[in-house]
Structure 1
Amino acid sequence: MVSDEAASAVVDSGGGESTEQPDSEDAGDSPSTDGVLCDYSNFTLNSQAYLTYTSEAQWSCAEERWLVANGIPDHEVGAFPNANNPNAISEQTVSTSFTLSPVRSELPTELGGPRGAVGYVLNGVKIDAATAGSCDDSGASCSLAGGANGSWEIEALSQSHFDFGVDFNNAHVQPTGAYHYHGMPEGFLEKLGAGSSTMTLIGWAADGFPIYARYGYSEPMNSASGLVVMQGSYQLVNTPSGNRPSVNLYALGTFSDDWEYADGSGDLDECNGRFGVTPEFPQGIYHYFATDSYPFFQRCVLGSL
C-alpha cells in the first residue's frame, strides 16, 4: 500500500506538452486495441524452494487477442501452502481470448469466481478479487473454503478478522492450485519497473479493455496533467443491514455488502474504471485500474462480453 502522502501527491508524468486530445468519450469509446502488447511473452523460471516451475505466458493478436499460459507467477511469491492457505501452487491450463474492439455496454456485468475471470495480468495469472468465504446471519458459522455457509461474503483484503493466507502480492492459491490476485500485484509491478512516474498497463479485462495499476492522469483527458494515485469510489455503509452479523464481532469492511458505490467520491466508476487517455491510447479509451483502495481490482466489467 502507498502512504496517504503519496496518494495525495501529484508527480511528473514525463509527458511534456500535451497534444490536442478529444474532450469527450465519443471520440474514442470503442478503439481497436490491436497492436498494443500483442507480442508480450514471458518464460521465466521461478526457482523458489517451494515453487520450481517456469512461468509461461504468450499473448498474440489475430482476429482476437489470445492468451496461452500456465498461471505460474513470474515473480517472488509467499510460501504456499501456509498456515492459513493449505494449497500449493500448480500449473494451470489457460487458453482464453479477448476482443480487439471492445465496446462499452449500458450495464455492468459481474464476474469472478464461478462467473469467470474478470481478467488476466500479462504474466498469465488471473484476477479474482472476491472470495468464496462467507458467514451466516448470526456470524457464528463462517467458512473460508466456500460452500453454502451463508450470504455474507467475506473480503480478503479490507478486513483483519479472517486470514486467507494472502502474500505480499495480495494473492493466494485456490484449491485447484491456481495462484490469483485479489489486489495490487506488487511483485509483477516491481518486475516491470513500474513507479510513480509511469502509468503502467498490467493486463486485460474479460471485455477487452486494458487494466492499469495505481497511477493515472489527474485530468483524464490530459496526458501532461501529472500522475496521481487513483482512488476507488466505494465507501463503508452508514447503517449495516439488520440481519448482518454484529459489528461487535466483525467490523465494517469484513463483508462485501459493507461497501457501497458512491458516485464521485473517488476517481473511478463502479467497475473501478474510467474513460481517458493513456500512454498506449493517446486518443482515449475506457480502462480499469488496480487500486490500493476498495475494490482493489474490479468486480465487474462495463464492456460487452
Structure 2
Amino acid sequence: MTRNHLLAGATGATLAMLAAVPAGAHDNHVTIERAGDRLCITSNGLPNHDTGTFPNRGNPHAISEQTLRYCVAANPVKGGTMTEITRGPVGIALNGILFRPETADYYDPSSPRGFSRDPSSGWNLEGMGAADQLGMDHNNAHVDNRGIYHYHGTPRGLLASLGDTHIGYAADGHEIHYVGEAARSGWTLKSGTRPSGPGGAHDGTYIQDWEYTGAGNLDRCNGGMLDGERYVYFATDTFPFYPRCFWGEVSADFRR
C-alpha cells in the first residue's frame, strides 16, 4: 500500500508520496506538517518497508505501534556552538522512524553478554560496531525495550522507497541526506590497541575506538554543503553514520 508523506500548512495539501511499500512491510502512517516556525513529523513508528524478524537472538524485543511526534525548526540556522546528543534519537526519517545511532550499553566483563548498562568501564558499545550482537536487521535497525524500531546505520529499505537524497531531519531542523561515497566521514579508527577495558585493537566495536581527524569532506558533526548551496548533515556508511552533534538549536523534543 502507499502512505502519504505530507507537508501541511493551513490547507494540509499533499506535496509528495512515498513509493509503494514492499510486500510484508508494516502499516506505516506518517505526516509532515508545518506548525508556525516548526516542522512536525508524526508517525505510528512502523516503517514503510519490510524488516528483519524481531525478537531475534541479539534483540529480545518485538516491534509495536507507537505515537511519535517530533518537531524541529522549519528554518534552521547554523551557528558557531556545537551541541552533542550522546543518548537517544538524533533525528527522524521521512517515514517517521527515528535515527538513534548510539547505544546505552558498555563493556562489562561480568555480564554474560560482555556488555551491560553499567557505564563504569567507559567503553560505550557502538551500534553498528556490534550489529550482530545487537540483532540489527538488513536495514541496520533494531527494536528497543519499548518496541520502538529505529535506525543505527544506513536505512536500506527507506532509501529504496525514496527518489531523492533527502531522508529526514536532524534534531536541529537541518536536513539529513544520503549521497553514498560522495560524502566521506572525517572520523577514523584510532591506531594501536585499547589502553584499558576490553583491550585489543581499535576495531570499531566501541565509540571510543574512533577519533575525528578531518580525513573526509565532512565536519565533526557529519555535516557539509549540499551542492555548494546550503548546510545539511549526511548519513554515511561509516562512523558516525548520522550526526551526533549539531550546529543549530536542538529541539526540546530530542532532549526528552
**TM bin (shorter chain):** 0.7 to 0.9
Residue 229 (str. 1) matches residue 229 (str. 2):
no
Instruction: Report which structure shows greater RCO (CA 8 Å, sep ≥6).
Output: 1
Residue 72 (str. 1) matches residue 46 (str. 2):
yes
Task: Give, as a single letter, the amino acid of the residue that structure 2 aligns with 1:157.
Answer: M
Distance 2:114 2:101 in 1: 17
**Equivalent residues, number:** 239
Distance 1:238 1:96 in 2: 39
Distance 1:184 1:212 in 2: 11
1:276 alignment counterpart: 226
2:198 alignment counterpart: 245
Residue 58 (str. 1) matches residue 31 (str. 2):
yes
- Offset of 1:100 from its aligned partner? 1.3
- Offset of 1:205 from its aligned partner? 0.6
Distance 1:202 1:40 in 2: 13
Q: Which runs of 5+ in 1 are unaligned?
A: 1-32, 194-198, 216-227, 278-282
TM-score by length of 1: 0.70
Task: Give, as a single letter, the amino acid of the residue that structure 2 aligns with 1:255.
Answer: Y
Task: Give, as a single letter, the amino acid of the residue that structure 2 aligns with 1:212.
Answer: H
Residue 125 (str. 1) matches residue 97 (str. 2):
yes
- Offset of 1:159 from its aligned partner? 4.8
Residue 200 (str. 1) matches residue 162 (str. 2):
no
Task: Give, as a single letter, the amino acid of the residue that structure 1 aligns with 2:229.
Answer: G
Task: Give, as a single letter, the amino acid of the residue that structure 2 aligns with 1:242.
Answer: P
Distance 2:79 2:14 in 1: 24
Q: Which runs of structure 2 are paired with 1:2-41 in the superposition (5 Å)?
A: 39=15
Task: Give, as a single letter, the amino acid of the residue that structure 1 aligns with 2:39.
Answer: R
Structure exhibiting the larger radius of gyration computed from Cα positions? 1
- Offset of 1:83 from its aligned partner? 1.0
CA contact (8 A) 2:61 2:147 kept: yes
- Offset of 1:44 from its aligned partner? 7.7
TM-score by length of 2: 0.82
Q: Which runs of structure 2 are paired with 1:130-209 in the superposition (5 Å)?
A: 130-136=102-108, 139-141=109-111, 144=115, 146-148=117-119, 150-159=121-130, 163-193=133-163, 200-209=165-174
Distance 2:128 2:69 in 1: 28
Distance 1:182 1:67 in 2: 19
Task: Give, as a single letter, the amino acid of the residue that structure 2 aligns with 1:261.
Answer: Y
Residue 256 (str. 1) matches residue 229 (str. 2):
no
**Cα pair distance change 1:273/1:153, threshold 3 Å:** same
CA deviation profile, 1:66-89 (whole Å, cap 9, x unmatched): 111111011011011111101000
**Cα pair distance change 1:58/1:42, threshold 3 Å:** farther
- Offset of 1:273 from its aligned partner? 0.7
Q: Which runs of 5+ in 2 are unaligned?
A: 1-6, 251-256
Distance 2:39 2:193 in 1: 42
Report the aligned-residue RMSD. 2.9
- Offset of 1:149 from its aligned partner? 5.9
1:288 alignment counterpart: 233
